[in-house]
């Protein structure tokens, strides 16, 4: 058996799985590593100095993957993540990855080896054929072969049985620049409160690209309403705020005042490299996102930035004139937009039960109702004013008990090692150090 690792990260729409794989690769400097990923993310991986092969879209994908996993110098094939073969049209299956080398499946969502049914909430009330094409009513994850090993990266993964939890970052997570230098490079004044707001790539696709998913032809209308809500939130926080938007389309890097919002200014920063993103969130005062499982939010938490997840688990609304008017406009633009969710746009409330099992980090993440402006103001004010960092503290305590990336890989490759079905077999590895405020 050879020494090279082949990492297959097939998503064309979700960057988190590839980002995790790149963090793993950076901690294995003595191993040759090849990354196979979509054409859209290939340059992102190349920017980290990795050897990259582009995965074709369509029927050739299975053939290309099959040839790659048969190469004789491989120590292992790592699929990051295994749910993607169901969630996207990648045109190959887990079976196509089985070859002479062991198969390791990253299981960030703790879905386990058995096939799972996942409903996609955004499609439940849609009659749009484009929506149903890109987001079917439900998908079924593949049942994994018995010889496949499951690796679960922490910070996001919990302690559910059936996989080997490991410390994803080790001692590698630190910004390159200080807060002042990062803000200065973006043209943001030192005295401003910086709130980073992130929209998942999947949500961008569903709600802002009418030729692919959205039921309205005017994607700008959705973005306008989303920005209007965030600006109203910033105004009510009553401080000089710069809203940095990630994930939405727009003119990159341009700082502009929010119309009619006094001390609030806006900047859009799409397409950040991993190190640039780390610098940004480390320099922010608050990180808001619409995805409880976000690896980017977990990175921000580890760096000591307060985080708040905007979720719609209970359907809470305010009765104010602003909220009710905004709701009516959004319903016109995007009918049935207010589906229940922990992960926008998929929903995934009960589907995340395994991930939330024995997961002190997710228990500690502060949540705010996505459509209650009053509660968002209260919760964000508390997060901005408090010195406490519950999500970071929960993570630092937990990762101190987990193996680092090299040890986790060796355990996955050693069939004589301890059973990965035991979530407590990892032992005490000593506490990590992460750079935070």
Would you list the domain boundaries of the chain? 4-172+398-413, 179-395
**Distance between CA atoms of 384 and 371, rounded to whole angstroms?**
20
**Distance between CA atoms of 293 and 343, rounded to whole angstroms?**
7
- List 106's β-bridge partners, or say none: 151
DSSP 87-135: HS--S--GGGG-SSS-EEEE-TT---SS--EEE-GGGTT---HHHHHHS
CA R_g for the chain: 21
Domains 4-172+398-413 and 179-395 equal at CATH topology level: yes
Q: Which has the closest alpha carbon to 88: 169, 11, 26?
A: 11
Q: Which has the closest alpha carbon to 408: 171, 165, 170?
A: 165
Q: Which has the closest alpha carbon to 202: 120, 319, 146, 302?
A: 120
Long-range contacts of 263-268 (CB under 8 A, 24+ apart): 263/239, 264/231, 264/234, 264/235, 265/192, 265/241, 266/227, 266/231, 266/242, 267/186, 267/187, 267/188, 267/242, 267/243, 268/244
Burial of 146 per CB tally in 10 Å (0-12, 13-18, 19+): exposed
Q: How many CB atoms lie within 10 A of CB 320?
A: 13
Q: How many CB atoms lie within 10 A of CB 42?
A: 18
- List 167's β-bridge partners, or say none: 154
**In contact, 301 and 116? CB cutoff 8 Å:** no
Task: Specify the CATH number of the domain 179-395.
Answer: 3.40.50.2000
One digit per residue, the tens of pLDDT, for the chain of length 437 reads 689 999 999 999 889 999 999 999 999 999 999 999 999 999 999 999 999 999 998 999 999 999 999 999 999 999 999 999 999 999 999 999 999 999 999 999 999 999 999 999 988 887 677 777 778 889 999 999 998 999 999 999 999 988 999 999 998 899 999 999 999 999 999 999 999 999 877 777 777 654 444 444 555 788 889 999 999 999 999 999 999 998 655 555 567 777 666 789 999 887 788 999 999 999 999 999 999 999 999 999 999 999 999 999 989 999 899 999 999 999 988 888 899 999 998 999 999 999 999 999 999 999 999 999 999 999 999 999 999 999 999 999 999 999 999 999 999 998 555 444 443 333 333 333 344 34
Pairing of strands 264-268, 193-198: unpaired
Which of the 8 DSSP states describes residue 173? -
Structure tokens at 347: 């929903």
Element (H, E) at 64: helix 60-69
Q: What pLDDT shows up at residue 272?
A: 86
**Distance between CA atoms of 370 and 345, rounded to whole angstroms?**
13
Structure tokens at 430: 């000593």
Whether the bond between 81 and the residue before it is cis, its omega within 30 degrees of 0, is yes
CATH of the structural domain 4-172+398-413, one choice from 2.60.120.1130, 3.40.50.2000, 3.40.50.800, 3.40.50.10710: 3.40.50.2000
8: Cα separation from own chain's centroid: 17
Cα dihedral value 296, 351, 214, 221, nearest 10: -60
User: In sequence order, which ranges of 127-166 are alpha helices (DSSP H)?
Assistant: 129-134
Total residues found in the chain within this entry: 437
């Amino acid at each position: 058996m050879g020494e090279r690792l082949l990492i297959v990260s097939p998503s064309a729409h979700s960057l988190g799985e590839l980002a995790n794989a790149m963090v793993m690769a950076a901690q294995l400097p003595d191993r040759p590593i090849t990354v196979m990923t979509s054409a859209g993310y290939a340059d992102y991986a190349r920017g980290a100095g990795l050897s990259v092969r582009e995965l074709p879209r369509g029927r050739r994908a299975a053939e290309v993957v099959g040839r790659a996993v048969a190469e004789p110098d491989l120590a292992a094939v790592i699929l990051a993540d295994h749910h993607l073969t169901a969630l996207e049209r990648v045109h190959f299956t887990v079976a196509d990855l089985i070859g002479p080398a062991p198969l390791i499946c990253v299981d960030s969502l703790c879905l386990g080896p058995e096939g799972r049914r996942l409903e996609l909430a955004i499609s439940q009330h849609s009659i749009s054929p484009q929506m149903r094409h890109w987001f079917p009513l439900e998908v079924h994850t593949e049942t994994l072969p018995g010889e496949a090993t499951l690796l679960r990266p922490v910070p996001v993964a919990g302690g559910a049985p059936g996989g080997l939890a490991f410390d994803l970052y080790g001692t590698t997570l630190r910004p390159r620049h200080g807060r002042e230098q990062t803000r200065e490079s973006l043209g943001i004044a030192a005295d401003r409160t910086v709130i980073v707001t992130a929209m998942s790539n999947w949500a961008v696709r569903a709600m802002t690209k009418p030729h692919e998913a959205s039921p309205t032809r005017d994607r700008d209308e959705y973005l306008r309403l989303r920005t209007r809500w965030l600006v109203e939130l910033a105004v009510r926080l009553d401080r000089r705020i710069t809203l940095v938007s990630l994930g939405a389309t727009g003119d990159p890097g341009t700082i502009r005042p929010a119309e009619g919002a006094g001390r609030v200014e806006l900047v859009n920063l799409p397409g950040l490299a991993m190190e640039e993103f780390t610098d940004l969130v480390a320099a922010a005062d608050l990180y808001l996102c619409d995805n409880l499982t976000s690896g980017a939010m977990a990175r921000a938490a580890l760096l000591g930035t307060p985080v708040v997840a905007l979720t719609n688990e209970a359907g809470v609304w305010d009765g104010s004139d602003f909220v009710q008017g905004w709701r009516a406009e959004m319903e016109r633009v995007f009918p049935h937009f207010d589906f229940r969710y922990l992960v926008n746009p998929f929903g995934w409330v009960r589907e995340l039960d395994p991930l939330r099992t024995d997961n002190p980090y997710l228990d500690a993440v502060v949540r705010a109702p996505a459509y209650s402006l009053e509660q968002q103001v209260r919760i964000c004010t508390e997060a901005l004013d408090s010195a406490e960092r519950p999500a970071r503290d929960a993570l630092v305590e937990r990762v101190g008990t987990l193996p680092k990336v090299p040890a986790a890989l060796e355990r996955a490759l050693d069939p004589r090692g301890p059973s990965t079905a035991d979530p407590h077999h990892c032992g005490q590895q000593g506490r990590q150090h992460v750079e935070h405020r």
